[in-house]
Amino acid sequence: MTQTSTLLQQELHLNGMTRPGGRTARTRTAVLAATLAELAEHGYAELTVEQIAQRSGVHKTTVYRRWGGVDGLLVDALGDASAGEWTAPDTGTLLGDLTAINAELLAGFTDPVAGAVPTAVISAAFQSDAASDALRAFYLDRYERCAVAVTRAIERGDVPAGTDGTEVVRASVAPLFHRLFISREPVGDADVTRAAAAAVAAAKAGVY
């Protein structure tokens, strides 16, 4: 956590608060930073409010009051992470775009720091409706942004008109998620390219 990112978070997300003063934002920043740190160090299984509170210097009662528990913290952290602007890569071909998206996705989840929050929220979604809703919103937004790659492919004539872009993206990333969190198999570059190639083949066949 650099000082710049700290200040950045302090400026953002002050909506809906009756008193968005310096202290409120300060505690939020400290708690979320501590959450990320604890998550990266110990993982979701051992993520506890007490540790986060102690690490952030904020009392645990405050954390329980504002976030309700670990799930709430994760939801807030996910919203924070997805706040920044993000645009899909543009390599010139649909296969290239989807491959790049998949590679970025895999790299993100493989990295113990960057992947900790999304992984934890996926796990928390099994228990918490709030986490489930946050996940859905996050990925719908992501797929919407990625769909432009398919739109470009349609304009190039590579893919039938009327193809649902978000569906193609979903199909492209699904095998990676499947290996990572369902069948729990190792995932490599071969899976990245194969999944993208399969989505392209299905799209060209007019499945979506």
Q: According to CB under 8 A, which one of 144, 155, 185, 189 is a site residue for a copy of itself?
A: 185
d(CA 169, CA 164): 9
Chain centroid, CA 134 distance in Å: 10
What does the DSSP assignment read for 187-208? --HHHHHHHHHHHHHHHHTT--
Q: Which is nearer to DNA, 24 or 166 (CB)?
A: 24
**23 within 8 A of 2, measured Cβ to Cβ:** no
* b (16+ CB within 10 A) / e for 16-44: eeeeeeeeebebbbbbbbbbbbbbeeeeb
Does 125 help bind a copy of itself (rule: CB under 8 A)?
yes
Residue 19 makes contact with DNA by CB under 7 A: yes
Kindly state the smallest distance separating residue 134's Cβ from DNA, in Å.
18
- Given DNA, a copy of itself, none, residue 62, with its beta carbon under 5 to 8 Å by kind, binds DNA
**For residues 188 and 165, is the Cβ–Cβ distance under 8 A?**
no
CA distance 118 to 120: 5
What are the tokens at 8? Answer: 């950045």
Q: According to CB under 7 A, which one of 42, 59, 136, 156 is a site residue for DNA?
A: 59
How far is Cα of residue 123 from the mean position of the Cα atoms in its chain? 13
17 near DNA (CB under 7 A): yes
Interaction of residue 22 with DNA, rule CB under 7 A = yes
Report in angstroms how near the CB of residue 67 gets to DNA at its nearest.
10
The stretch among 6-14, 31-39, 50-58, 190-198 that binds a copy of itself (CB under 8 A) is 190-198
- 3-state secondary structure at position 172: helix
Q: Per CB under 7 A, does 18 bind DNA?
A: yes
161 near a copy of itself, rule: CB under 8 A: no
Q: Which of residues 34-73 bind a copy of itself (CB under 8 A)?
A: 44-45
Tell me how far apart the alpha carbons of residues 10 and 18 are, in angstroms, rounded to a whole number.
16
For residues 204 and 168, what is the distance between their CA atoms, to the nearest angstrom?
A: 10
**Binding residues for DNA (CB under 7 A):** 17-24, 26-28, 48-51, 57-62, 64-66, 68-70
Q: Contact positions toward a copy of itself, by CB under 8 A?
A: 44-45, 119, 122-123, 125-128, 132-133, 135-136, 139-140, 143, 167, 170-171, 173-175, 177-179, 181-185, 194-195, 197-199, 201-202, 204-205, 207-208
